[in-house]
Structure 1
């Protein structure tokens, strides 16, 4: 555990250096980059993704994956749009859309926590199924014309210069750090991620923990979908498509092991800042969206390979050191 913790500290230090380089480059090449308004805009353009990345951190540390989050975002937003277009007051449409996210989480958690199916299989099915439900609700059309109060929540500042989604992110970030790093539930998440069977024999409620995580994941995704609909002012069946790539990249680049059991919320926060600033820098360089997606994909590969390569290098040097010690003693 000490070696793993030390590696994470070094990884987070590397992320901090990378973030500093990115910020300096952008500041030198973009007038007005360091203003508060620009930084709020950085967050606002990807705010729904980074909100979901918070709960995805818990999921991956728990040695699971949730590929359905982007589809749940679209399904929730389309549920609200469909209900409003058919005469339901927007307040009730939003409430039902959030409940739809809870229902999706209960469905996922039943098959994962109770039946014991792999989360990769269950949530991949959810990725397809929830997206299909979104298309069933709105078909190929776009639904808009939402009440002004709803659009203002996503498009205008709520407190000072800060919009609602950014305020929600910071509140959830504080709760996520406290729960993951300093609570008993957070310790359960790590223990299960390290070894599920050992956790079970140690008296940890593995099934309950996993069900809580997946219900929370879909609920947060549904909330993010509603915020996304408010920011765009309309919903479509394909909204949030592909968001899971960026979300998972943010988590893995932050030092969270794809195999579970390690990682910190601080590392994920640094990763989020790096990705937001990289996208901003590439946008300033007039690079296309496809190029930006390719860079994010490369970061995803790097975030998976780098810890494994570092571990193998460390093991190699430990063996060499042990061999020298044996030779010296002989």
Structure 2
């Protein structure tokens, strides 16, 4: 989940220490499914965060949902430079990364389709205080969601994270390119504060999209991008310290207001229904989700994909 994984990024030193302690250990072995015989997975080394052997989205889920056991597991970092370097060098053949990480397309790697929906749906979605919402704001934000996809947010993230461009400039350029920048509006005299949870390039860009579009419609906009985790940003939204923020469906379900982590799943529609129900009584409206899904993804190099005919996670269960 996005909340768990981003919090782990904030504890990089701890994760690396655990990784060092576990480096001599491996998970897996026989690499067979219940039907017997060696599988593709049994020939490959999986790399990911140190907690992978305990997390349902990683080794337990791969075994229970897909019937996969890998040759070995190497504890690395949380979708970061260690995991990327290991996949590049061949030290691992399957890496757990984030689906919107530009490194995947930059290297021509193959993100395996999660065809059995092991991972939670983490669609980027605007959440806003109901008392600040009107038809114009709803349309502006929903229109942004309607244009935002996993594919088209990746180059925007690269512009900010790698090319060091300003998130507001990148956001403005996207809105203009997509025809989403209003030429006028009815926002004069009305103010909103846009925030984020645990600021990083991706959600800063989306927050700036909201801010730029609303400002162009005449609203007075402030941004609050220094909030920490949802334990801070959710109460800030409920109290009115901020009025609006981009969120992730599954992660916001696990937040302190919704408190419904058990409702997270790979079914985005079900997640949306649950989140709307959970937040409505707190004066928060969940608008339309985008098709930008920042979730866990298992990645292989093109050479590995070609060698074994891999395009989806279930292909790793094929006999060899």
TM-score w.r.t. the length of structure 1 is: 0.21
Larger RCO: Structure 1 or Structure 2 (Cα < 8 Å, ≥ 6 residues apart)? 1
Higher relative helix content: 1
TM-score for both structures, normalised by structure 2: 0.22
